[in-house]
C-alpha cells in the first residue's frame, strides 16, 4: 500500500501538496534509515528535523514528529509528509505492516538511564578524535618539512577526510568535487540549525558536525 493511500487521511490536501513539492525539489534528506527508526530533515529557510519511531519492527503503528512550529502544535506537517514519501522511496521496509501513525512528542521524550552512558562514550570518542586531528595536523607540518608522515598510531589524514566527506554527503551536501571554504561554511550553517539542541538535535550531533567541519577546514588549509 502506498503512502498516499495509507496515510493521506492524516494530512490536509494542501499539506500533502507542499510535502510533495519539498520532495521534488530535493529538500528532504534522510540521515538514518532503520526498520524501527527514521531520522532526517527538510531544508528550508530554517531546516526542520523529522523523526519516525516504531516500538519494534512488527508494530503496526509508529510515532512521527517534526521540530517545526506547526508540528509542535500537534499537527501533521508538510515536512512529515515529505519524509514519508522519501521513506517510501529509500527505505520502504520501515513502512511494511505499519497501517497507522500517531503524532508524538519525540523531541522532548525523557531519556533512558542508558543515554547517559552513551553520551559519556561519545564524549570519550570525541576526545580521541580531537587527539587524532592534532596528530594529523602535525603530519601535514611534517610533510611540508619533508619528514615522515607515519604516526605512532598509524593514522592517515585521508581516512578522516573521506569520513568527513561522507558525513556531509549523507546529510545532503556532497562536496568531494566542489569543496571550498564558502561551500563548507554554508553547509555547516544549515546543518547547525538542524543538529543544534535548541532545534531538536542533540549535543552529540552538534559535536560530530563541528568535528567533521574542522577536518575539512584543516584539509583546505
134-174 confidence digits (pLDDT tens) = 666 666 666 655 544 333 334 445 688 888 888 898 888 99
Query: Which of 90, 79, 96, 92 is closest to 170 using CA atoms?
Result: 90
Q: What is the pLDDT of residue 153?
A: 39
Q: Is residue 109 part of a domain?
A: no
Residue 13 lies in a domain: yes
Q: Does residue 188 register a pLDDT over 50?
A: yes
The per-residue pLDDT for range 33-66, each reduced to its tens digit, is 888 999 999 998 889 999 999 988 888 999 999 9
Last residue of a domain, one of 103, 131, 164: 103
Please state, in angstroms and rounded to a whole number, the distance separating the CA atoms of residues 50 and 32.
Answer: 11
Q: How far apart are the first and last CA of the chain?
A: 51
Report pLDDT for 220: 85
Does residue 212 or residue 82 have the better pLDDT? Answer: 82
Number of separate domains in the chain: 2
Residues 164 and 212: beta-carbon distance below 8 Å: yes
Residue 108, domain member (yes or no): no
Give me Rg for the CA atoms of the chain. Answer: 20
Domain that residue 135 falls in: 114-220
Q: Helix, strand or coil for residue 56?
A: coil
Q: Would you state the cell numbers that stand for residue 98, as one nine-digit string?
A: 505499519
Q: What is the 3-state secondary structure (H, E, C) of 112-125?
A: CHHHHHHHHHHHHH
Among 58, 51, 65, 1, which residue's Cα sits nearest to residue 35?
A: 58
Residue 179: CB atoms within 10 Å: 18
In a domain? residue 160: yes
In a domain, 120, yes or no: yes
Q: Please give the pLDDT value at position 138.
A: 66
Beta bridge partners of 62: 54, 101
Residue ending a domain, among 77, 103, 129, is: 103
What residue spans of 145-220 are helical by DSSP H? 157-170, 181-195, 203-220
Select from 70, 103, 136 the last residue of a domain: 103
Amino acid at each position: 500500500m502506498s503512502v498516499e493511500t495509507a496515510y493521506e487521511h492524516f494530512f490536509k490536501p494542501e499539506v500533502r501538496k507542499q510535502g510533495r513539492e519539498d520532495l521534488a525539489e530535493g529538500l528532504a534528506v534522510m540521515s538514518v534509515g532503520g526498520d524501527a527508526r527514521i531520522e532526517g530533515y527538510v531544508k528550508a529557510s530554517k531546516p526542520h528535523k523529522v523523526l519516525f519511531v516504531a516500538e519494534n519492527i512488527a508494530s503496526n503503528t509508529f510515532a512521527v514528529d517534526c521540530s517545526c512550529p506547526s508540528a509542535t502544535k500537534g499537527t501533521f506537517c508538510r515536512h512529515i509528509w515529505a519524509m514519508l514519501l522519501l521513506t517510501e522511496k529509500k527505505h520502504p521496509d520501515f513502512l511494511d505492516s505499519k497501517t497507522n501513525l500517531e503524532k508524538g512528542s519525540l523531541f522532548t521524550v525523557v531519556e533512558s538511564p542508558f543515554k547517559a552512558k552513551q553520551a559519556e562514550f561519545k564524549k570519550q570518542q570525541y576526545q580521541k578524535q580531537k587527539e587524532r586531528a592534532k596528530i594529523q595536523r602535525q603530519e601535514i607540518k611534517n610533510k611540508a618539512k619533508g619528514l615522515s608522515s607515519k604516526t605512532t598510531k598509524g593514522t592517515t589524514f585521508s581516512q578522516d577526510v573521506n569520513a568527513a566527506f561522507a558525513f556531509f554527503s549523507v546529510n545532503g551536501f556532497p562536496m568531494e568535487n566542489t569543496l571550498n571554504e564558502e561551500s563548507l561554511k554554508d553547509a555547516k550553517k544549515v546543518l547547525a540549525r538542524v543538529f543544534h539542541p535548541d532545534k531538536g538535535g542533540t549535543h552529540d550531533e552538534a559535536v560530530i558536525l563541528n568535528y567533521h567541519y574542522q577536518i575539512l577546514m584543516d584539509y583546505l588549509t
